Structure 1
Amino acid sequence: MTEYGYFLSCEEFTPDELIDQARRARQAGFTRLAISDHFHPWNDAQGNSAFVWSMIGALSRAVDLPVTTLVTCPTVRLHPAVTAQAAATSSVLLGERFALGVGTGEALNEHIHGDAWPSFDQRAEMLEEAIEVMRELFTGDLVSHHGRHYTVDNARLYTAPEGPLPVYVSAFGPKAAELAGRIGDGFVTMTPDSDLVSAFRESGGAGKKVVGGVKVCWSGDRDKAVHLVHRLWPTELLPGELAQLLPTPAHFEQASELVTLEAVADAVTCGDDVDEHVETLSAYARAGFDEVYVGQIGPDQEVFFDSYQELVLPALRR
């Protein structure tokens, strides 16, 4: 049966707001949390970029829900050995209720050291090696690794995971879904695409978790909600590989000028029609997803949590 969790957006909210949302999500009946990892927001209007590993430490003391990163990139901005240490500590703090969602990353977050941004094939190769390095370190054994992309010299995690620490791999196309099936303990994708789920299952993902996420804007004024989404999250509608290739929030703002209000109204669930919200999330369950995380866009968090607690989550569970 599909589980429904709440998505914490480090790009849009302050650390205190994220902690408040996590507590409110638990009260509302969400059973899990996911959290984004960004060095920059997608645009200046979002205005935040909390460090995900600090947030996970705080969440471990604020609520007792499982937490998954959706997603972090362990290949450029942080070395996989450092990411492994952060993930291992997170797992210990959360009592083994932590899953490491990883992906090949976006230039927006990973370019900050001045490195050239690799092609997708090279990034996929780097991710595969990074996962290999992290899994070796998760054992708590002494690790030395000399690979094509990474070197680890006599490293050991003394605070190692006390149980399984699953690594979920993000993918948005068939080629990446096949990689996720081969090297991941689960699959992360943001659209309810049953073909991608099948590609993952057929490539080694049988019996492994499929995880998705979606943003909505619950509001009594649908037109106002559409305008809010258009201001804060037009980047959700940018096509192709732009999200992986554009390097700064300013570039995303320029590209987002092509996103119309009509496109937002068609693509994003806005307003307070319970059936629309239920259908948006049910589409993931029908496509074979095990976990779905929903994030509320904008400041109207209380009305979102109240409405999902009273109306949407009960309908989904029926």
Structure 2
Amino acid sequence: MTLRFGYKASSEQFGPNELLRFGVLAEEMGFDSVFLSDHFQPWMHEGGHAPAALPWLGALGAQTQRVLIGTSVLTPTFRYHPAVIAQAFATLGVMFPERVILGVGTGEALNEVTLGLDWPDSPERFQRLKESIALIRELWRGERVTYDGKFWHVQDATIYDRPEHEVPIYIGASGPAATRLAGRIADGYITTSGKDPALYTDTLLPALDEGLGKAGRAAGEVDTLMEVKVSYHPDRQTALEKTRFWAPLALTPEEKRDVHDPIEMQRRAAELPIERVASRFIVSTDPDEHVAQISKYIDLGFRHLVFHDPGFDQAEFLRMYGAEILPRLRAKYGA
């Protein structure tokens, strides 16, 4: 079975230089990929960070040799014109051939509203994402592009530096519409762990299959990436408390929808009990239990597992997971 195991670099929690050291260490410890989210603002005001993804990916690519690098996710529809993203990721693809992935999503108010940008409802955000992907690909494939869409317009545009192999585009989604779109047009599909199992089995994976079917594609044509939230430490209480910084992840979509201020997001998250905070994570002191819980996602069909640890000692996590968890997973699945 072909599996990949990646590392989620927490750009919301660490500054760019520290984060870069972790990305390099991830390659040394045997991880196959390194992804980060592209946020203008973090989830938490106190102790939060938000380094820009584009220059950081260039720095990581220059200091590593083999890991795949990419965004999980970036929004190419508000802060960025899609043509700017097409140019940036074409450049990264030239510099680091067949190592770069563009992960995209519909966006969050936290990143856009603060800049005075309009924040439309979900259907429009979805249509903007769909059109932006079409424009990016047209710019990558065309010599002289004029595009007149509903949201984006370019005239006589050329991306002059393009890689030999086109950068794959992954769509991040937690709902059926964007998941179907991933099945229809994307090279990969990104979602996150720790939610109701029925969401994956009854909603998301059937939507992915539906999208694949509509496009006449085989399942293997789309990489299935699960961002798996884990908290591993020999001490149970330490493993539990590590999740506190990421309490906003435990807020429901209704509780965080349209919140654009990290201070307000932090206030809402601070009201949550630790048990609810930790509910999105696999929290355990036992490496075999981690493998068993991760295996549930592999058994569902996810082939690219990207691990996100919530703690502040990321070097400790990378060494422990690289030494104790990844070898067990590879042995179990012959990967």
- Superposed CA deviations along residues 172-230 of structure 1, whole A, max 9, x for unmatched, are 01222112222322211113724412321221263211111123233233223323322
Number of residues paired by the alignment?
Answer: 317
Letter of the aligned partner of 1:96 in structure 2? E
* Match runs of 1:177-256 below 5 Å: 177-191=179-193, 193-195=200-202, 196-204=204-212, 206-207=219-220, 208-230=222-244, 232-256=245-269
CA contact (8 A) 1:10 1:50 kept: yes
**Does the residue aligned with 2:307 lie in a helix, a strand or coil?**
strand
Q: Which residue of 1 aligns with 2:315?
A: 302
Could you tell me which amino acid in structure 2 is paired with residue 278 of structure 1?
A: V
Say which SS state the counterpart of residue 40 (structure 1) adopts.
Answer: coil
Q: Structure 2: 5+ residue runs without aligned partners?
A: none
Look up the match of 2:111.
109
Indicate yes or no: 2:313 matched with 1:311: no
Indicate which of 106, 120, 145 corresponds to 2:122.
Answer: 120
Q: Is the 8 A contact 1:219 1:300 kept in 2?
A: no
* Distance change (3 Å), C-alpha of 1:105 and 1:244: farther
RMSD after superposition = 1.8
Structure 2 equivalent of residue 154 of structure 1: 156
Letter in 2 for 1:59: L
Deviation, 1:97, is 1.3
Say yes or no: does 1:14 pair with 2:4: no
- Pick one of 77, 92, 95 that aligns with 1:93: 95
Matches within 5 A, 1:135-174: 135-139=137-141, 141-174=143-176
Whether the 8 Å CA contact 2:246–2:277 is kept in 1: the answer is no
C-alpha distance after superposition, 1:94-146 (max 9, x if no partner): 11211111000001012233122111100000001100110011125111111
**What is the 5 A alignment of 1:274-313?**
274-313=287-326
1:261 paired residue number: 274
- Aligned residue type for 1:13: F
Is the 2:10–2:37 Cα contact (8 Å) retained in structure 1?
yes
- Aligned letter for 1:107? A
Q: Residue 149 of structure 1: CA displacement?
A: 0.6
Q: CA deviation at 1:28?
A: 1.2
Question: Judging changes above 3 Å, is the alpha-carbon distance between structure 1 residues 45 and 277 closer, same or farther for their aligned structure 2 residues?
Answer: farther
- Counterpart CA distance in 2 for 1:242 and 1:100 is 29
- Which structure 1 segments of 5+ residues have no match? none
Per-residue Cα deviation, 1:225-248 (whole angstroms, up to 9, x for no partner): 323322x10011111254552111
Match of 2:192, SS state, is coil
Cα pair distance change 1:299/1:258, threshold 3 Å? closer
Matched, 1:34 2:9: no
Normalised by the length of structure 2, the TM-score is 0.89
Q: Note the C-alpha offset of 1:61.
A: 0.7
Alignment partners' CA distance in 2, 1:244 and 1:286: 32
User: Is 1:69 matched up with 2:64?
Assistant: no
Using a 3 Å threshold, how does the CA distance of structure 1 residues 109 and 166 change in structure 2: closer, same or farther?
same
**Map of 1:2 onto structure 2:** 3
- Report the TM-score, using the length of structure 1 for normalisation: 0.94
Alpha-carbon distance in structure 1 between the residues aligned to 2:100 and 2:84:
17
Q: Residues of 1 paired with 2:47 and 2:227: CA distance?
A: 18
Return 203-212 or 44-53, whichever deviates more: 203-212
For the structure 1 residues 243 and 316, does the alpha-carbon distance in structure 2 shift closer, same or farther, using more than 3 Å as the test? farther
Asked if structure 1 preserves the Cα contact closer than 8 Å seen for 2:250 and 2:279, the reply is no
- For residues 62 and 128 of structure 2, the distance between their equivalents in structure 1, rounded to whole angstroms, comes to 33
Report percent identity of matched pairs. Answer: 38
